[in-house]
Amino acid sequence: MFDVNQLREDFPILSRKVNGQPLVYLDNAATSQTPKQVVEVISDYYYRYNANIHRGVHKLSQEATDAYEKARATIQNHFNAAHPHEIIFTAGTTESINCIASGYASLLKKGDELLISALEHHSNIVPWQMLCEKTGALLKVIPMTLEGTLDMNAFELLLNSKTQLVFVNHVSNALGTINPIQEIIDKAHQKGAKVLIDGAQASPHIKADVQALDVDYYVTSAHKLCGPTGVGMLYGKSALLNALPAYQGGGEMIATVTFEKTTYADLPHKFEAGTPNIAGGIAFGAALDYMNGIGIETIARYEAELLAYATTALQRIDGLKIYGEAKEKTAVISFNVGSIHPYDIGSILDQMGIAVRTGHHCAQPIMDFYKIPGTIRASFSFYNTFEEIDRLEAGIRRAVAMLQ
């Protein structure tokens, strides 16, 4: 049975007060909260077996290495990768994307084409622009519709024999739209193009099976999944990762080093230079264990109920406009009220202890499409309640009354 009040006890931060009011945390699309079970794993590492990994013969190093590699196996199993070495630990989604972009700098030529979608986070736009500047490749954009979905007919027209790479987020961070990634992957592969899926916003709600999807690269961050900041995952098919040059040079990622030549280690170490975020990697695995203990499908069902309830509640407010009305979306509502600037409403909500995000959400092209400066974004997680949504509705009404 799903008992939200019992689960909330795992998150001590949810019981604190902000500006004298009980905290209502609705900025989960930016970062999720971390349960005490995961925090305890981090503390346990530093208290009991803090040591560097893969390098020491002593007991602490062996224990740290075992825990770190166990976490890699947990991530592999969660995303159903074929091999543990296809899971590369990174600092997060942004570094994962930059790793691939860096590698393709030596593989692309002038006139090659890359496709991104109009729904992307800046981290899935800027690295490819930089890559195009280096290589002379062309960056083309899959347009979006007013409903906040991708124009799939336009996507098919953009695909051609020159298309080398396609980059699309699984879920839009700004609108919550779930993109049809299976269709995108299949059609891109028919043209010989490789596909990278940004799964940062999808991972808390959807359990991606990378083998079933046949996706070439899939990336995400632990802090979206009840884990710590500063650690994430790059999944890539073995053959593709082996074909890419190393992203960074340093210790751990080498097989041999002389002053004349260096040879690189096998996967995954080829892409993991230097001392990693060991505690973070171990906690990433613990966070997935925590969420799988609840059940990703169970979480998604409850969050769908929260989304439906919140959508109905907010639509009762005069002048409130929701951006992103796809039939398939996660628990995100991006909205404005009349001509009131989103920052003003967000600031008043904060005084009531209600944490939402305001601005362009690192997705400025979406805001430019709608010709708005930004939105107020309420994003829900499995530890949120219907009562908190009632407080959000009341808070928005109060803010609007103060600002009009």
* Catalytic residue list: 362
Tell me, what amino acid is at 10? D
Candidates 212, 192, 177; CA nearest to 79 is 212
What is the rounded distance in angstroms from the CA atom of residue 268 to the CA atom of residue 175? 34
Tokens of 151: 């124009």
Give the number of other CB atoms < 10 A from CB of residue 152.
Answer: 15
* Contact present, 278 and 272 (Cβ < 8 Å): no
Place of tokens 């171990």: 282
Q: How far apart are CA 99 and CA 286, in angstroms?
A: 25
Q: Are 330 and 116 in contact (CB under 8 A)?
A: no
What span, in angstroms and rounded, lies between the C-alpha atoms of 246 and 264? 8
CA atoms within 13 A on the CB side of 124: 32
Structure tokens at 142: 């899959």
Contact 161, 350 (CB under 8 A): no
Q: What is residue 330's DSSP assignment?
A: -
As a whole number of angstroms, the distance between CA 253 and CA 304 comes to: 43
**74 to each of 69, 122, 155, how far by Cα in Å?**
9, 29, 35
Alpha helices in 159-295 (DSSP H): 181-190, 210-213, 238-243, 278-294
CA distances from 318 to 302, 314, 352 (A): 27, 9, 21
Token digits of residue 314: 């907010």
Pick the closest to residue 138 from 170, 169, 160 (CA basis): 160
Report whether 10 contacts 34 (CB < 8 A). Answer: no
Q: How far is CA 25 from CA 226, 265, 356, 389, in A?
A: 14, 43, 7, 10
Could you tell me if 71 and 282 are in contact, meaning their C-beta atoms sit under 8 angstroms apart? yes
State phi, psi for 73 to the nearest 5 degrees.
Answer: -65, -35
